[in-house]
Amino acid sequence: MTYRSIETLNYEAQLIEKSKKIRQRFSEVGIEDFRVFPSEPVNYRMRAEFRVWHEGDDLYYIMFNPETREKIRKDDFPPGSKLINNLMQAVIDHVIDNPLLRNKLFQVDFLTTKSNQAIVSLLYHRPLEEEWQAEAKELHDYLQSFADVVHLIGRARKQKVVFGSESVIENVQVNGQTYQSIQTENSFTQPNSGINEQMIEWVSEQAGQNNHDLLELYCGNGNFTLPLASQFNSVLATEISKGSVAAAREGAQLNGIENVTVVRMSAEEFSAALSGELESKRAADADIHSFDCKTVLVDPPRAGLDKDTLKLVSQYQRIIYISCNPSTLIDNIKAISATHKVTAAAMFDQFPYTDHIETGVVLENRN
């Protein structure tokens, strides 16, 4: 990923150049017609992590240039939400002259929402003793004036201290409807809320209304699961992360969605259980063979789909594939090209001013 300064780049120009490169890369699998979803040019990131630099009496945030490892001071962060920027300064102001909070603080993480909630995580290279906890409680109280809800979490080796909660509730707007999403500290959530909503709406449009069930692999916290549930008879979703599974289930309850089953299994385990190669109590409890899935949605990690999961998804009439890595997506498309063809494609500029872009394709069975 190439570092660029947000102050020196014209957003529209960089997106045009990025889109051109993506089209060139995907031309080898016959895809050139992409629908492009642009991001807001500033304040688009809802989460950020900063190292903390101690320099004499001064204390400030830094990020590293990934190419040169040069330290870059960050007194503000234009890509970050307005709430992140407000909390960045508030934390520094409160910590800089407080020895108990400042001592061996090496990182601060921010998770924010459009619903004006936030989690601030302070990471330390020392134990968090009672004296620290008393001062942290004062910081927690101080931060409440900056948002509707601010939770504070202290982390050290084998230790976590929580003031408030480990989760926030985000309001996700999809097709004119609001879904409440549970987002948990230290668990994956989509960083660009605006692009995320556009991504869900595109998937929703491609899915349409159906009289069959949806299989979703790598469902995370239910980001796609909950909005898509009304478009299928039922949804069978899998996810390996314990925290994300809990968030997806809680999100379904919070939104009154009753046709979603979330199973804590990896995609590889699920593939083996569905084919009868693996006995699994979780799969049996979910009665995975009772579902009539004809559409499968996948949003895998950068490694893409492994051989067994590719074999599994190729059995479905329609595959909706969201990818954070064009290289592995292209390889996966080639691997199932004998049975499936691409019928729609999109680019989602999740990370403006970088070389990274999310892509989505729909693959339909050729028969």
Structure tokens at 240: 């390996």
Check if 293 is active-site: no
Cβ contacts of residue 249 below 8 Å, gap of 6+? 222, 262
Picking from 48, 143, 46, the residue whose alpha carbon sits closest to that of residue 91 is: 143
Spot the catalytic one: 129, 216, 358, 364: 358
Structure tokens at 209: 């209304």
DSSP string of 20-31, one letter each residue: HHHHHHHGGGT-
Which amino acid, one-letter code, is at 254?
A: L
Picking from 309, 302, 298, 299, the residue whose alpha carbon sits closest to that of residue 335 is: 309
Picking from 302, 289, 296, 288, the residue whose alpha carbon sits closest to that of residue 318 is: 296
Spot the catalytic one: 166, 239, 324, 364: 324
| CA 77 – CA 43 distance, rounded (Å) | 8
| CA 290 – CA 247 distance, rounded (Å) | 24
Residues marked active site are found at 324, 358
